[in-house]
A = this chain, B = another copy of it.
């Protein structure tokens, strides 16, 4: 299988694990996603060989490199354009998130994926985190009864510097579709498409020179069963902390509570009859390998385009809620299964 790489931004190494796991996968071609990147960015790309073609222009890569699959790992404002060009050619795409920075563009992408049948998988890479998958299995198996309350936390270090494109809404979609989308994805993945409304607030107080990227945000989602899901996002994790991120999830239901602290490696289930006990954890396959296997007919794609659309829609509407101070309905969606 011939992989093309557009962009060397963010988690662009995502495909690396698949090189070992998928026989015959080769890095066929690379190209920068825009003038902020260079072909030189790919000098140490995993899987780079003498046969890897280097293009200055990603359009030329798509037209001439005879690809089977493309990974788009670009600055946020360039993701939808390159993703659309792949889909128009019927090429399956693994794309950075968010897929789009506005809802009309998002809808156009999803419709194009549906029209051409090309796989479209956003990098919701946390689905490969074994502990999150274990929470999902426990909840889906009914271990906590009906889920009624959840709290999700994503906290990160800001670090010594950030690229300039975090400064402006032209190039940065906001904290919710950026860091938050992973939490919205795990909520959707674990609890289902149950969210009916979102309220939120944010502020960029810690880094006012990066006004497009909030340093703190809080959200409340309503659920169709009367439940409530709460989310906090921040870039306030101190440099002295032991890990870059501090992600947590607690889901409480009518018959139990499951709780995860990823940074601490704590994952417990408490029920009516049992105090906190560990939840069994199993290794998970990375998203890209699952995509490639699905392309070979060895299983379904890890995420369907309509799901990808829904998760991105939730993230964009959460951002809208935080920016406008208004509760935004999640009921009317172009991305709900019939």
Given A238-B256, A253-B236, A203 and B228 contact (CB-CB distance below 8 Å)? yes
- Nearest B residue to A321 via CB reads B199
> In the complex, are the beta carbons of B218 and A236 less than 8 A apart?
no
Is A237 at the interface (CB under 8 A from chain B)? yes
Would you list the 7 A-B pairs with minimal beta carbon distance, nearest first?
A: A203-B226, A205-B226, A149-B216, A218-B230, A236-B252, A218-B228, A218-B220
> In the complex, are the beta carbons of A203 and B239 less than 8 A apart?
no
Chain B min CB distance to A202 (Å): 7
A236 to B228, CA, bound (A): 12
> In the complex, are the beta carbons of A227 and B205 less than 8 A apart?
yes
Taken residue by residue from 212 to 247, chain A's Cβ proximity to chain B (1 for < 8 Å, 0 otherwise) reads as 000111111111011111111010111111100000
> In the complex, are the beta carbons of B272 and A240 less than 8 A apart?
yes
In the complex, chain B residues whose CB is within 8 Å of the CB of A272? 238-240
> In the complex, are the beta carbons of A201 and B228 less than 8 A apart?
yes
How many of chain A's residues have a CB under 8 angstroms from any CB in B? 57
Is A155 at the interface (CB under 8 A from chain B)? yes
* Oligomer: number of copies: 2
25 A-B pairs with CB atoms under 8 Å apart are A149-B236, A151-B232, A153-B250, A155-B252, A197-B325, A203-B225, A203-B227, A205-B225, A205-B227, A205-B254, A216-B252, A217-B228, A218-B220, A218-B221, A218-B230, A220-B230, A230-B231, A234-B252, A236-B252, A236-B257, A237-B257, A238-B270, A239-B272, A240-B271, A241-B270
> In the complex, are the beta carbons of B199 and A232 less than 8 A apart?
no
> In the complex, are the beta carbons of B199 and A327 less than 8 A apart?
yes
> In the complex, are the beta carbons of B236 and A220 less than 8 A apart?
no
Contact of A148 among B148, B151, B215 (CB under 8 A): B215
Chain B min CB distance to A39 (Å): 38
In the complex, chain B residues whose CB is within 8 Å of the CB of A205? 146, 148, 225-227, 254
In the complex, chain B residues whose CB is within 8 Å of the CB of A241? 257, 270, 275-276
Is A204 at the interface (CB under 8 A from chain B)? yes
